[in-house]
Amino acid sequence: MPRVHSATVLAETISWYCALLLALMLVLNCCQPIESEFDVEMLQNDMMMMMDNKACDEIYVVREGETLQTIGEKCGDPYIVEENPHIHDPDDVFPGLVIKISPFNKR
């Protein structure tokens, strides 16, 4: 039987302990308490409100798939074309276009 060097035994022992520690961490991570549905729903509502408020700053950058109508509905500004003389054709809106938004509730 070949003789095993003590450094090899030490390295194998350390690697086994590391593997056990990693497995223990994975198991403990999966056992975190589950939030109630009410808490999750409140968090989702808060995130949606933050996104809506952030999306309707005075200066707005058009995103992919948006139209002036969808932006007007989202931001509460039905007069986007009138406030942005650089928009000659309301159907020619593209991602990256910068427009001025004046939400109706701020007027």
What is the per-residue pLDDT across 8-62, written as a single tens digit (0 to 9) for each? 888 899 999 988 888 888 888 777 665 666 566 666 666 665 555 555 778 888 9
Nearest to 101 by CA among 64, 47, 88, 74: 74
Looking at domain 6-29+47-106, its CATH superfamily turns out to be LysM domain (3.10.350.10)
pLDDT attached to residue 38: 59
- CB-CB neighbours of 101 under 10 Å: 21
Global pTM reads: 0.47
**pLDDT band at residue 107 using 50, 70 and 90 as cut-offs:** very low
pLDDT attached to residue 43: 67
What is the per-residue pLDDT across 68-78, written as a single tens digit (0 to 9) for each? 998 888 888 88
C-alpha angle 50/56/60, rounded to 5°? 130
